Amino acid sequence: MTTPGDALRRRAQTLQLHGLLAHWPDAADTAWVEALIGWEESERARRSLERRLAAARLGRFKPLADFDWNWPAQCDRAALSELMRLDFITQASNVILVGPSGLGKTTLAQNIAYQAVLHGHTVLFTSAGQLLGELAALDSDSALRRRLRHYAAPALLVIDEVGYLSYSDRHADLLFELINRRYEQKSTVITTNKAFAEWSEVFPNAACVVALIDRLVHHAEIIPIKGQSYRRKQAEEHARARARKRTAKDGGGA
């Protein structure tokens, strides 16, 4: 039968508190030992979260609570809320957010990634341009293999803004190699402004495009987002507000 003392000792063993364990018979019944173990657990959890957040490279982003769900003409909120449960990560499935610029695809991807970090997953967020530019610039096979392992390792990899630039056949081959390494092993989130039928414009003449898409979508939740740019909406609102201020100022000075 497991006693509270046994459970407390297992916690100390998990933390590898060897000094405490060496004197366990003397310390086990003291009033402070459980508090000490609790403090150590909390501090290690805090530092682990800080390390994972730093490694994820999420940058600044708007929390999901502030996301304007009413602005996109089409956005499956229920599907996105379900993604926040992170079941797709345990299933090694992918997520593809497809839609025009300015509708919050990046914000949604960052929030998914943040939830993954909070729940203990390793995460890396990068843009397609940064990822492919870095890989293509490596001039030795060993360096390329190391960097591919780096991008293949996280439980969740987010590749933002696929489709905003065009890439060479080499870039396409590198992306295929990375996705192939993660295929059915790890989860990848892609944000793109191009339907898959248009990816031949992103990777012109690349022979691997069909195979790349095939691996991405095989186990994937594809969420289309449609509407007008939210950034354009904000810019127009700011312009109208400035115009009203100028009108009021001119009227007050008349």
Asked whether residue 203 is assigned to any structural domain, the reply reads yes
pLDDT in tens, 164-216: 999 999 999 999 999 999 999 999 999 999 999 999 999 998 999 999 999 99
Q: Is the same domain home to 116 and 218?
A: yes
Q: Is the same domain home to 91 and 68?
A: yes
Mean model confidence pLDDT for the chain? 91
Q: What is the residue range of 32's domain? A: 4-52
Q: Is the same domain home to 45 and 141?
A: no
Q: What is the pLDDT of residue 234?
A: 66
Q: Which residues pair with 98 in a beta bridge?
A: 192, 224
> What is the band of 126 on the pLDDT scale with cuts at 50, 70, 90?
very high
Q: Is the same domain home to 43 and 93?
A: no
pLDDT over 60 (residue 134)? yes
Is residue 152 a contact partner of residue 182, using CB atoms and an 8 Å limit?
yes
**3-class DSSP state of 50:** helix
> Whole-model pTM above 0.75?
yes
Asked whether residue 26 is assigned to any structural domain, the reply reads yes
Q: Where are the alpha helices (DSSP H) in 57-183?
A: 77-83, 87-90, 105-118, 128-137, 141-152, 169-182
